[in-house]
Amino acid sequence: MSEITDKEQDDSSAPATPSAGSEQHLQRVRKLHELIGDGVDPFGRRIDGLISTSEAKSRFLEWEEDSAAREAKEGGESPPEPVRLAGRLTAMRLMGKSMFVDLRDQAGRLQVYAQKNVLGEERFARFKKLDLGDLVQVDGSLFRTRAGEPTLKASGFELMAKSLHPLPEKWHGLTDVEQRYRQRYLDLIVNDEVREVFRRRSQVIREIRDFLATRDFMEVETPMLQAIPGGAAARPFETFYNALNCPMYLRIAPELYLKRLLVGGFERVFEINRNFRNEGLDRRHNPEFTMIEIYQAYSDCRGMMDLLEELVTTVAMRVFGTLQFAWGEEGEKIDLTRPWRRTAYRDLVEQRMGGDWFGLDPTAMRERAVEAGLEVTPAMAAGEVTHEVYEKLIERTLIQPTFVTRLPADLVPLAKRCPDDAESVDVFELEIGGQEIAPGYSELNDPIEQRRRFESQAARAAGTVEEAADRVDEDFLTAMEYGMPPAGGTGMGIDRLLMLLTGAPSIRDVILFPQMRQLK
């Protein structure tokens, strides 16, 4: 048995995607025109009666069991029923008057056996001219080879789409990480583990929806184009709405619209949404990302902590079958077993910087922060220095699931203050693997206090009084004035959750088409 090794298929040092006009490309284009000249449609049409490779294997195994029982009783067996499959050719092995090829579809891989005496001389010659990457339909019946592998014995085939570029060789042809992200379609074709990550992503989102639906949460949709971007402190993407002659913004969060629904009487709502933030690209950030936001009337941040614990652990068990996950380059174990740790922001800072930290004046805080290895400026206030300590020295050490509670009030303008401490708000940040997975609040429902906080936040961000006024969402405040029930709310980054559960080192590994710098 010999592998197909013509020039275009064994040159593993060739670029993953040869440019149009290359010899490899031109050779396939010539084949394309030959097919057209022979009256063959190289791009196929609708196929009826298709099943997947996994279903074909399942039917075959059932037939084997049944035929074994029949043989034991009657001394004979019937041939398995014919099946029709379609997929991409990913391996080809020529054996004189027969060939083995690998056919891959969304469900997996199945070996196909083609014989000259079955297909006929003309069709077998055409089968031999197929290239790696071609999409084909194959009819036939399954049997088991001497090596024990379930295999489809082809009785007929049709070309469904001619591939005009050779596939990259897995280990040598598509190793450039940036190219994998730019040409995700090739990454998915040649890398089984990448396909598995995105299958799991789909399963995770489906299980999240099922989990919330069984608890009477209603899925909703809110605007992605907003006149006033709100719900988070982030720089928005700007656009212009010609029909209304006004600027608009891609949403940075759906929060203010979901709270309007609480006012309207929908007491349990969630949205799996795309958010857009005009900020940097790094291992944990993509300007377009997926979140789920959940709001429950007559609950609070403790209710949201309970809900998140149950949601994440339920989804992890249903999709991955475990609560133990490897994290980081050294494979440290993260254990999602409940209950998760709950600790106050202030306590974590004092443990790291000393019990007297919050009694220091800003100058002494800055000096101690510099001694700890941080870069701070003389203009930074005490709260800014403290949060720099938290983000740079503490957050990355929180590997096991930890709810960090009671954050400083000036960090979270949309949450209720703690009843025993006006300087803190009744919120949490869920940290796992050294990064924030989800914040959660006891939501502020006092419209007067909300207006004061909005105006204060807008004044800090704007250059003029007029600009500050434009940043306050008056419609949302009016809605609150009709009465918003006390509520708990939380938002979880789906991409970061997938990074945790799959062990992906970068957010770009769990986003099908991550944002990339444009090539010139």
Q: d(Cα 487, Cα 270) in Å, to the nearest integer? A: 13
pLDDT tens digits, 435-456: 999 999 999 999 999 999 888 8
Query: What's the whole-number mean pLDDT along residues 471-488?
Result: 95
Query: What is residue 21's predicted lDDT score, i.e. its pLDDT?
Result: 67
Query: What is residue 469's predicted lDDT score, i.e. its pLDDT?
Result: 58
Query: What is residue 340's predicted lDDT score, i.e. its pLDDT?
Result: 98
Query: What is residue 140's predicted lDDT score, i.e. its pLDDT?
Result: 97
How sure is the predictor about 67, in pLDDT bands with cuts at 50, 70 and 90?
Answer: confident
- 498 close to 514: Cβ distance less than 8 angstroms: no
The yes-or-no verdict on residue 466 having pLDDT over 80 is no
pLDDT tens digits, 329-338: 778 899 999 9
Residue 10, sorted as left (phi over 0), alpha (psi -120 to 50) or beta, turns out to be alpha
For residue 374, the SS3 value is: coil
Q: Residue 392 is encoded by which pair of tokens?
A: 């740079």
Query: What is residue 467's predicted lDDT score, i.e. its pLDDT?
Result: 53
The yes-or-no verdict on residue 3 having pLDDT over 70 is no
Q: d(Cα 123, Cα 128) in Å, to the nearest integer? A: 9
The yes-or-no verdict on residue 10 having pLDDT over 60 is no
The yes-or-no verdict on residue 156 having pLDDT over 50 is yes
* 430, 302, 387, 453 alpha-carbon torsion, rounded to 10°: 130
Percentage of residues in the chain with pLDDT exceeding 70?
91
The yes-or-no verdict on residue 172 having pLDDT over 60 is no
Query: What's the whole-number mean pLDDT along residues 425-442?
Result: 96
pLDDT tens digits, 365-394: 999 999 999 999 999 999 999 999 999 999
Query: What's the whole-number mean pLDDT along residues 59-88?
Result: 82
Query: What's the whole-number mean pLDDT along residues 89-115?
Result: 96
Closest by alpha carbon to 114, among 104, 106, 105, 125?
A: 125
Query: What is residue 168's predicted lDDT score, i.e. its pLDDT?
Result: 84
How sure is the predictor about 162, in pLDDT bands with cuts at 50, 70 and 90?
Answer: very high
Q: d(Cα 154, Cα 137) in Å, to the nearest integer? A: 10
Percentage of residues in the chain with pLDDT exceeding 90?
79
